[in-house]
Amino acid sequence: MSDTQNLVQGKTNWSSIYIAAALSFVGAVQFSLYFSALWPYMRILDNDITESFYGWTVFVYSFGQVLSAPAFGWWSNMIKMVRPPLYCGLILMFTGNFIYILMEVISGVPKRFVLMVCRFIIGMGSGNVATLRSYASTASSLEDRSKAIAFVTCGQAIGMTMGPAFQFIFTQLEYPGPAPWGLSLNLYTTPAYLACLMNVGGAYALYHYFEEVYAIELIEDDEVEEDETETMQQAPAIPMYDIIAVLVCYASRFTDMFVRTNLETLGSPYSMMMFSLDEVRSVRYLSMTQGIIGALTFATYIAYINFDMEKIVPNRPSCLIALTLMLSFHLVTYPWQFLSNYVDPLNGTTGCDTSRFTWCDELTQVNIYLYYGSYVILIGTAFPLLTITLTTLFSKILGPRRQGTQQGLFQAASAIGRMIAPVSASALYTGYGPRAVWKMEIAVVGVVLGAWCLFYGRMVEMKIPKKATNQCFGYENPQAIEDESTMSHG
């Protein structure tokens, strides 16, 4: 469809929102689709790969996303369309996965470097999720905004969850397996084939079923430059967004992913050290915990999709509640000095290794039921609540303008959190123990929570001048303007 960027229908285009949610799933699933298979597969193809180098291959995925997300957003703003950046992201993800499939037959280059290139390209492609959120924010009316964003974020969350599930199915295959056209089809490569098919399917849906129409009239920031006098009289002008509020949103998004990644990174070694769990019990408890959290996350998204949750608990208080729950979890599960029990010394593979860690002798033990119970209730509520409400509020703070660049930076803040969290947490854990990690996270969450309290009055939807409101939102009834402008201010 040509010039779809100029179509404004005044209401939410749900069919395109559904496609955006599906594309969000496609992008998210490729982070975790064959993540558990990377290390054993590379040990087969390249004996020189080390744990340190493997860590860098994980790092470059997020680094690629940091670079591409703002670039995709800027591009979509410049051309006033989201479809080309979405195509580009799908092509990049397809290319990265296809190189991964070819990796076993590529010669002359160490396989570990090929893997790093693959993950970097896939990470760059996945940066298009910011463009999807930008579209969902402007293709939905104000009253549908939370629901539309819930669809897109739900697609992303399900994608992250389903990746390991697909990998589990493919573990039934053997290595090296059949080799049609000289390329192996086995438990290590089949997920990449599936990823390629998903990217092709996403491109097909984008071409045939996605209509780029908007619920609101998007006002360009530079609209007054061509003819200032005429524009001041005729074209609606919207104010500049509140930079402080935007920066607080960036910091909140960073904190969300920073805490999330740290808990995932240290989950297994922490439980084996703190609670003296063996490998099987550690994996079992973590899997059960993540499964329950996944169910709570899905239930939260369903609630926002089917009910007007924003009227029940407005966005601003919801963000504060989520951050407070994160802080509460770390305070409740901190190994305080006054606790009576101490961690057990190393016994086989469980307990604290006093020969490696000097902090073992004075580390008190957290109650296992308190830890996992708090994890499920506090973290399981905080993460999905903050994701939906913060993303919705962020789009309203920006106002009815093209949000590609800012949504890209919003996504980049998340990727930066994912990048630096494992490095900082692992270093602190090794040198100073879990108390240092908990203190770091308490400090990060506390600073952001303090910023929210300090600038709470500025964390509101952009207020549009009434003369511009009619054209921006297509209203003819002045009362409708009043109703719409007061919505979501809580």
Q: What is the DSSP letter of 82?
A: S
Asked whether 437 and 428 are in contact (CB, 8 A), the reply is yes
pLDDT at 489: 42
Q: What is the pLDDT of residue 231?
A: 43
Cross-strand pairs, 352: 345
Q: State the pLDDT at residue 219.
A: 57
Residue 263 lies in a domain: yes
Q: What is the CATH number of the domain that holds 278?
A: 1.20.1250.20
Let me know whether 454 and 474 are in one domain: no
- Segment 143-160 shows an average pLDDT of 81
What is the rounded average pLDDT for all residues in the chain?
A: 81
Are the C-beta atoms of residues 40 and 188 closer than 8 Å to each other? yes
Please report which confidence band the pLDDT of residue 158 belongs to, taking 50, 70 and 90 as the band edges. confident
**Which residues does 45 contact at the CB level (< 8 Å), separation at least 6?**
103, 104, 111
Same domain, 416 and 482: no
Question: String of b and e for 16-45 (b: at least 16 CB within 10 Å)?
Answer: bbbbbbbbbbbbbbbbbbbbebbeebbeeb
Note whether 349 and 287 are same-domain residues.
yes
Better-scored residue on pLDDT, 485 or 253: 253
Name the pTM for this structure.
0.77
Same domain? For 249 and 333 the reply is yes
Question: In the structure, what pLDDT confidence band is assigned to residue 120 with cuts at 50, 70 and 90?
Answer: very high
Characterize 273-311 residue by residue with b for buried, 16 or more Cβ atoms within 10 angstroms of its Cβ, and e for exposed. Answer: bbbbbeeeebeebbeebbeebbebbeebbebbbeeebbe
Q: Do 161 and 88 sit in the same domain of this protein? A: yes
pLDDT at 374: 94
Number of domains in the chain: 3
pLDDT of residue 235: 47
Determine the 3-state secondary structure of 364 from DSSP. strand
Average pLDDT on 396-405 reads 82
- pLDDT above 60: residue 41: yes
Same domain, 289 and 206: no
Under the banding of pLDDT at 50, 70 and 90, the label for residue 11 is confident
**Do 177 and 316 sit in the same domain of this protein?**
no
Shared domain for 278 and 299, answered yes or no, is yes
Q: Rounded to 10 degrees, what is the CA torsion of 358, 439, 249, 386?
A: 90
Domain range for 248: 241-459
Lowest-confidence segment of 104-108, 344-348, 449-453 by average pLDDT: 344-348
> For residue 1, is it within any domain?
no
Number of Cβ within 10 Å of residue 4's Cβ equals 16
Whether 228 is covered by a domain: the verdict is no
266/312 same-domain check: yes
pLDDT over 60 (residue 224): no
In a domain, 388, yes or no: yes
pLDDT tens profile 236-295 = 567 788 899 999 999 999 999 899 888 877 877 888 888 888 777 776 787 788 778 878
Residues 41 and 17 in one domain: yes
pLDDT digits (tens, 9 = 90+) for 58-80: 788 889 989 998 999 889 888 88
CA-based nearest residue to 60, from 116, 130, 99, 128: 116
Residue 95 has pLDDT above 90, yes or no: yes
In a domain, 233, yes or no: no
Same domain, 476 and 420: no
200 with 137, same domain?
A: yes
- Is there a domain that residue 179 lies in? yes
Cis peptide before 180 (omega within 30 of 0): no
